[in-house]
Amino acid sequence: MTAESSVLMRALVVLEAFDSTHMVLKLSDLMVRTGLPQTTLYRYVVDLVAWGALDRAPGGGGYQIGLRMIEIASYCPRSRLLRDVALPFIEDLYEATHQNVQLAVRDGTDVVYVELRAGRGAVVVHTRVGARWPMQTTGVGLAILAHSPSDLVEKITARPMVAFTPKTIATPERLRYAIAEVRRTGVAVSDGQITLDGYSVAAPIFGSGGDVVAALSVVVPAGDTRRALWAPAVRTAANDITRGLGGR
């Protein structure tokens, strides 16, 4: 590793210290989470603030991710084309259901949410644009997994799977059964996996090469008596996005 790449990696380690539960960090917090010495860390933080990757948090209580990062992320080709094609169908699906509508892609063994339309009065979801969750714990993740290479499933089942609720899929047997159901029905169902009050119905989206590139979901309250009605709507919207991407 060259000196230049070492500097870059350390700066990225500083940015990586932030996550959904650590959105504002003081310098002392960053020292703990990065393991960098105070003088070195302070130098990186100053440079990152000057560039716009970090901002000072309101009230002077620490640092937070800067708006420049949002600008840079918006240029990502992988999500930009997908979002441009998907947004009209996401809006249509929201108008039809008035529930939470989510669009996600795979990153490793996680899903990352690239678009979210939150319904007023709908069930509270613990997702946001940029959030990531283990694939097997979400409807969108199961929809993607069902059409991914088998070695991805083996990679997930080869290590302990986190359980957020008693309903979370956390064993190889349950995961393989869930994947078989997705292939049989064309939609993935995630019932109370992340929070017990949420029920997700998702469908896969395919690119022009025939590979699964994303998944679309609607999240409704677990007790919603109409939840069986959402599967055709989600599947239709996902198919429309697939056609928009040049897929079948």
For 2-46, what is each residue's pLDDT tens digit? 555 588 888 999 999 998 788 899 999 999 999 999 999 999 999
The one-letter amino acid code at 60 reads G
For 74-86, what is each residue's pLDDT tens digit? 676 666 788 889 9
Cβ-Cβ contacts under 8 Å for 195 (sequence gap 6 or more): 124, 126, 164, 165
Q: pTM, whole model, 2 decimals?
A: 0.74
Cβ-Cβ contacts under 8 Å for 8 (sequence gap 6 or more): none
* Phi-psi domain of 210 (left: phi exceeds 0; alpha: psi -120 through 50; beta: other): left
**Beta partners for 242?**
none
Q: pLDDT grade, residue 137 (50/70/90)? A: very high
Phi, psi of 87 (to 5 degrees): -55, -45
Inform me whether the pLDDT recorded for 1 exceeds 50. no
For 199-237, what is each residue's pLDDT tens digit? 999 999 999 889 999 999 999 888 777 777 889 999 999
User: Which of 2-6, 137-141, 168-172, 213-217 has the lowest average pLDDT?
Assistant: 2-6
Cα–chain center distance at 106: 8
Nearest CA among 34, 39, 64 for reference residue 52: 64
Q: What is the per-residue pLDDT for 78?
A: 64
Inform me whether the pLDDT recorded for 163 exceeds 60. yes
d(CA 163, CA 179): 18
